[in-house]
Structure 1
Amino acid sequence: MKKIGLFILSVLAVSFSNAQDITDALRYSTNQLSGTARYRAMSGAFGALGGDLSAMATNPAGSAVFSTGEIAISLTSYNNDNDASYFGTATNASDSAFDIGQAGAVFVFDNTGNSDWTKFSLGFNYQNVNNFNDNLFVAGIGTTSVDQYFLTYAQGLDIANISAQPGESLTEAYIDIGRAFGFGHQQAFLGYESFILDLDPSGNGIDEYISNASYASGVDQEYSYATSDYNRKFTFNLAAQYKENLYLGLNLNSHVVDYRRSTFISEIGFDRVNDFSVTEIEFANELYTYGTGFSFQAGAIAKVNDDVRLGVSYQSPTWYRLNDELSQAVRVFTVDPVDINDPSLDFEDVVAPNVITLFDDYRLRTPGELTGSFAYIFGKQGLISFDYTRKDFGSAEFKQNTGFNAENTLISNSLKATNNYRLGAEYRIEAFSLRGGYRFEESPYENGSTIGDLTGFSVGAGYSFGGWKLDLAYDQAQQERNQQLFNVGLTDTAFVDNINSNVTLTLTLKL
C-alpha cells in the first residue's frame, strides 16, 4: 500500500500539545554504551581508571591520569536487529548505520613549582551517546483497530470542535482546531473527517461517537516504526592531580538532540456490514524532535596503593529544551451503499492536512546518577575494573507553561531507580592488549516488562606503535520490550527482542 506524501503548507503553533509522553522522557534519559574502542571493549567500566578520552564520560577526574596529551577519533558501525511477535505472527527488521562515534583531545600540564597540585589537564571530547537508528515491523491479526485511537480522543467532544465548518478546507480546519484546542482535538478531527467515526444516533443530544469499523474476527494489521539521527554530547573537561594519590575533575556538557520517528499502520479485513462500513485504514505519522541541553559532572579517583584505585562521580540531570514537529495523514476506504460486497466500488477518503504542526517548545529534566568504581592493577600486565551506577528514572520531569501533570505523575508511578553494573578487564602482552567486558542494566519500569533488563558483553584488542595506537572493539547488548502500537486506544503490544551490536575502531595519537 502506498504511503501518503506530505508537504508543508503552513506552520502551526499549539499552546498545549499532550503529544509528549513517558517514552520521550525515557529516550533522552537513557545513554547507550559509546566512546573509544578501548572503553567499549571493557563495557565502559572506567570510573576508577581514567587514562582514556571516553573515561571522562564516566568520571571527569580520569583525564588527570594521562601522563601525556592524546588525540583520539573513533569510527563506529551501528547495527540493530528486532525480532517481533504480534498475536502469534513473527517478523524481523534490522538497521545499520556508520558514524564518527567519538573525537577528542586532552592536554596535560605538569606543575614545575612547589605546589601540591602536581598536574593539570584540559580535555575536549565529542561523543554520540545515543544513535537512534532503529527499525521495527509488526504484522498480525489484531483484536483492536486503530479506530479506537480516534474514538478515545473524540468521546465527549463537541462536534463543532472536531469538524470542518462550511466553506472551510480540511487544512484550514486542522490548523484552526489545533490552535484553539490542541493535539487531542486534532486526532478526533482526523477520525471524524475520514469517516472512521460518526455521531452516535442514540447519544441523546450528547456528542458521543461510534466507530464505522467492524471486526468481529479481528483485523489484519501491519505496523512499521522507524527512527533515526542522534543524541550527541560535547564535553569540556578540567582535572587536576593532588600530590600522588588523588585526582579531581569537572565536566561541562552540551547536548544536541536530533530525532526522527516515522510510524505507519495499515489495516484491512474489516467486516462489510452496512453502507457506512470501513474496509481499510492507513494512518501515517512523522515526528521530528530537536533541541539542546546542558549537564555537568564532578568526580574523584583515589590511588589507595600501587594496585588499588577507587572512584566516585556524580552526573547531574540534563536540562533539555526541545521542540516537536508533527505531520499526519489518514487514508480510509468505505463501502459503496449500492453494493457493499463489491470491493471495487469502495470509496476512498484521504485526510492529509499537508501541515507540519510546530508545538511550543518544552523542557525535560532527565535523572542524575551516582557512580562508584573499583579497579585493581596487575602491574604492567593488566587490570580489572568494576562500576556501579544508581539512577532514578522516576525523577524525570517535563516542564512547560501549561504543565505536564498527568505525564509527570505517570513517570513517577511507572519508572523506578535502577542499579547498573559494568565489569571490564584488560591483559597486556608487550605492545598488544586483549580486553573484555560485561554490563547489566536494570529495567527502568516498575513492572520490569514494558522494557526488560539489558545485558551486554564486549571484546576487543589493541596494539601500540609507540607514538600512536589502534584499538578495535565489538560490543553487543540484548533487551526485550513489550511495545504498544499507540499510547491510547490501540494499546495492544508487540513483544520485541532487540539485539544491538557495534564495531568500533579508534586511532589514538600521543602529543
Structure 2
Amino acid sequence: MSISAAFFAQAQDVSVIRNTIDVYSNAPNVGSAKFNAMGGSNGALGGDANSLLTNPAGLGVAISGEISGTLSVTNNKNTSSYAGSSYGYSINKGDLGNLGAVMTFQLMTESAWKFINIGVNYSNQSVENYIETPGNNNLVYDFPDGGSSSFGRHAYDRYGYLSKTSFGVGANYNNSFYLGAGLNFLNTSIDQSDTAIFNSLADGSSEYFSKQNTPFTEKANGFSASLGVIGKLSPNFRVGASLETPTFWDIDRGYNYYNDPISGDDFGTENRKLTTPMKATVSAAFIASKSFALNVDYTLGLTRPKYKVYGDAETELNDFFKDHYKNLSELKIGAEYRIKQFRLRGGYSYASSPIDALTVKGRYNNDGSITENQSYSNLILNDRNALSFGLGYDFRSFYIDASYQNISSKYSNPFLYGEVNNNYEAGYYSPNRLISSDASAVSDVKNIRNNFFLTFGWKF
C-alpha cells in the first residue's frame, strides 16, 4: 500500500499521526512497581487498584484495604542513523508515576455477595520524545532567491505528559465470581516542533526552518469507561475479560503558520474531537500455591482512531487511518514467586506495529539522488518489546517494591517532505525563505526506554 500525496501534503503529517497513536491511543499503563515488574499483566489476578488499568473486576478480589505510591525514574533514548552517521539523545525524568487505593467493604450477611470494594488509581507518564537526525552534504536545496544550501540536521521534538485517573467498583460473589466497572479521566499536554537546519554553500552559515503549522501545542482531556469479569474455574485457575470503550478526546490546539514569505509568521487556534480505539482484553491466571502465580493478558483493539471532520486536515487523517492503521494487538505475561516475605517478579510484553507497510513516493538516497516508490514495513512506528523484573519485601502491614523495565523499538523515520505552492502550503520556512521538497529523507531510529519504579504501600 502507498501513502497518498495528501498524507504528506499535511504540514502536521508525521507528528500528528505519531501522536494520535503513540499518545492519545495509548493510555498510560504505569502502575505500581509490582504491576510494572509483571509486565502490566494482572487481568485475571487483580487484588489492588492497578486492576483499573486492565480489568476493574480485579477490585473485587481484594480482601483488605490498601494504599500505595510509586516513584518513577525514566530514561528515553533515541538513536537516529542517516547517511552513515548517527545522533543519540537521552531524556531523563523523575516523577510520581502512580497512586492507588482500595477500600474494602465486607458484607456481613448470609448472601453470596462477600465484598463490595471501591478503588481509585492515578497513572502519570512523560511523553517527551526527541529524534535528531544528522545531515547530508549531498542533499542540496535551491532556494527561490537563488541561493543553495545543503541539509544540516532535522529534529522532531515533543515534550509533555499524559495522565489517567480511574474510579471503580468491584464485587465478590461467593469468592468465585467477580464483577467490576470503572470510569477513566485522561489529560495530556503536548508541545511539538518539526525543525530542519540548512547550511549555505556560499558562506557556510546555518539557517533554521520550521515546518508549516509548527511549533504547535495541544492540551486535551478524554473520557472512557470499562467493564470486567473474573471467574474461578478451580482453586488454581482463573479467567477474566474486560472491555474499555473508546476514549473521547477534546483537543485544543495552537499552532504557528505562515501565509507568504513577506508577511511572516502568525498564530492560529482550533479545537479537534478525536475518538481512539475501543479495546477488549482476555486474561488467564494460574495460581499454583500461595508462593507462585502466573498471569497472561491479551488485548485487541476493536476500532481505529477517528477525528471529527471540520475540514480537509481531519478528512485526510481519517483516510490515512482507514487505509493504513492496524488494530492494536498486545500480549503481556507476568509471574510472581514468594519466599516468605520476599517477592520475585518478572514480565514480558509485546505490542504489534500499529501501521501497515507503507510506500513513500520519493526517498532521498545518501548521494542525493531519489528512489521512487520505496516501501517500508516500519514507517513512523513499529512493534514494541518490553522486559521487566522486580523485587519486593512485605513487612506485613507495610511493603516496599522495586522494579526495572526495558522497552525497545526500531522504526523508519520520514522527514523533509513538504511541497510549496503559491508561497505557502506544507514546506519548511524562515521569515523570508521557503523550501519545497517532493521527496522524503528517511532515517533509522532505535528507541530504548529504561524505567525504574519504587513503591511504598500500606495494607489495612
TM-score exceeds 0.5 = yes
Tell me the secondary structure at the aligned position of residue 19 of structure 2: helix
What is the CA RMSD across the aligned residues, in angstroms?
Answer: 2.4
- Is the aligned partner of 1:287 residue 2:287? no
Aligned twin of 1:343 = none
Q: Contact (CA 8 Å) 1:81, 1:92: kept in 2 or not?
A: yes
Question: How far, CA to CA, are the matches of 2:240 and 2:138 in structure 1?
Answer: 53
What percent identity do the matched residue pairs reach?
28
* TM-score using structure 2 length: 0.82
Tell me the secondary structure at the aligned position of residue 47 of structure 2: coil
Tell me the secondary structure at the aligned position of residue 52 of structure 2: helix
- Cα deviation, 1:98-143, whole Å, max 9, x if unaligned, reads 1111112111101112322221011111111x42122222112066
- Is the aligned partner of 1:422 residue 2:422? no
Question: How far, CA to CA, are the matches of 2:356 and 2:296 in structure 1?
Answer: 26
- Is the aligned partner of 1:237 residue 2:174? no
**Pair 1:127–1:110, CA change in 2 (3 A):** same
- Is the aligned partner of 1:78 residue 2:74? yes
Q: Contact (CA 8 Å) 2:48, 2:102: kept in 1 or not?
A: no
AA at the equivalent of 1:22 = I
**Pair 1:432–1:26, CA change in 2 (3 A):** same
Question: How far, CA to CA, are the matches of 2:99 and 2:300 in structure 1?
Answer: 27
- Cα deviation, 1:41-73, whole Å, max 9, x if unaligned, reads 000111101013222210011111111111111
User: Among 102, 120, 127, which residue is 1:124 paired with?
Assistant: 120
Shift of 1:296: 0.7
**Pair 1:496–1:32, CA change in 2 (3 A):** farther
Question: How far, CA to CA, are the matches of 1:68 and 1:143 in structure 2?
Answer: 66
Higher helix share: 1
Aligned twin of 1:180 = none
Question: How far, CA to CA, are the matches of 1:135 and 1:356 in structure 2?
Answer: 24
Aligned twin of 1:24 = 19
User: Among 244, 253, 276, which residue is 1:366 paired with?
Assistant: 276
- Cα deviation, 1:185-208, whole Å, max 9, x if unaligned, reads xxxxxxxxxxx447xxxxxxxxxx
* TM-score using structure 1 length: 0.74
- Is the aligned partner of 1:304 residue 2:233? yes
| Superposition map of 1:311-350 within 5 A | 311-327=240-256
Tell me the secondary structure at the aligned position of residue 57 of structure 2: helix
AA at the equivalent of 1:401 = Y
Question: How far, CA to CA, are the matches of 2:350 and 2:140 in structure 1?
Answer: 37
- Cα deviation, 1:419-470, whole Å, max 9, x if unaligned, reads 2111111110011100001111110011141122111100101101111100
Aligned twin of 1:256 = 187
Aligned twin of 1:356 = 267
Shift of 1:78: 1.1
Question: How far, CA to CA, are the matches of 2:110 and 2:141 in structure 1?
Answer: 73
AA at the equivalent of 1:231 = L
Q: Contact (CA 8 Å) 2:413, 2:444: kept in 1 or not?
A: yes
AA at the equivalent of 1:485 = F
Aligned twin of 2:347 = 437
| Superposition map of 1:28-427 within 5 A | 28-31=24-27, 33-128=29-124, 130-141=125-136, 196-197=143-144, 212=146, 214=148, 219-270=150-201, 281-284=207-210, 285-327=214-256, 353=265, 355-358=266-269, 360-392=270-302, 395-402=304-311, 404-427=314-337
Question: How far, CA to CA, are the matches of 2:257 and 2:206 in structure 1?
Answer: 17
Higher strand share: 2
Q: Contact (CA 8 Å) 1:213, 1:279: kept in 2 or not?
A: no
Question: How far, CA to CA, are the matches of 2:11 and 2:197 in structure 1?
Answer: 24
User: Among 456, 459, 472, which residue is 2:389 paired with?
Assistant: 459
User: Among 437, 441, 453, which residue is 1:492 paired with?
Assistant: 441
Q: Contact (CA 8 Å) 2:28, 2:162: kept in 1 or not?
A: no
Shift of 1:397: 0.3
Question: How far, CA to CA, are the matches of 1:483 and 1:126 in structure 2?
Answer: 33
Q: Contact (CA 8 Å) 1:313, 1:370: kept in 2 or not?
A: yes
AA at the equivalent of 1:439 = S
Shift of 1:477: 0.6
Tell me the secondary structure at the aligned position of residue 115 of structure 1: coil
**Pair 1:32–1:221, CA change in 2 (3 A):** farther
**Pair 1:267–1:119, CA change in 2 (3 A):** same
Tell me the secondary structure at the aligned position of residue 348 of structure 2: strand
Q: Contact (CA 8 Å) 1:49, 1:309: kept in 2 or not?
A: yes
Aligned twin of 1:4 = none
Question: How far, CA to CA, are the matches of 2:254 and 2:141 in structure 1?
Answer: 22
Question: How far, CA to CA, are the matches of 1:488 and 1:408 in structure 2?
Answer: 20
Q: Contact (CA 8 Å) 1:121, 1:239: kept in 2 or not?
A: yes
**Pair 1:119–1:222, CA change in 2 (3 A):** same
Shift of 1:18: 7.2
Question: How far, CA to CA, are the matches of 1:245 and 1:213 in structure 2?
Answer: 76
AA at the equivalent of 1:96 = N
Tell me the secondary structure at the aligned position of residue 317 of structure 2: helix
Q: Contact (CA 8 Å) 1:94, 1:136: kept in 2 or not?
A: no
Q: Which moved more, 1:248-257 or 1:485-494?
A: 485-494
Q: Contact (CA 8 Å) 1:220, 1:269: kept in 2 or not?
A: no
Tell me the secondary structure at the aligned position of residue 112 of structure 1: coil
Runs of 4+ in 1 over 6 A off after TM superposition: none
Q: Contact (CA 8 Å) 2:168, 2:182: kept in 1 or not?
A: yes
Larger radius of gyration between Structure 1 and Structure 2? 1
Question: How far, CA to CA, are the matches of 2:65 and 2:141 in structure 1?
Answer: 58
Tell me the secondary structure at the aligned position of residue 363 of structure 1: strand
Structure 2 stretches lacking a partner, 5+ long: 1-9, 358-376, 420-436
Shift of 1:280: 5.0
**Pair 1:262–1:18, CA change in 2 (3 A):** closer
Q: Which moved more, 1:479-488 or 1:132-141?
A: 479-488
Q: Contact (CA 8 Å) 1:270, 1:280: kept in 2 or not?
A: no
Q: Contact (CA 8 Å) 1:283, 1:329: kept in 2 or not?
A: no
Q: Contact (CA 8 Å) 2:77, 2:89: kept in 1 or not?
A: yes
Aligned twin of 1:177 = none
Q: Contact (CA 8 Å) 1:88, 1:140: kept in 2 or not?
A: no
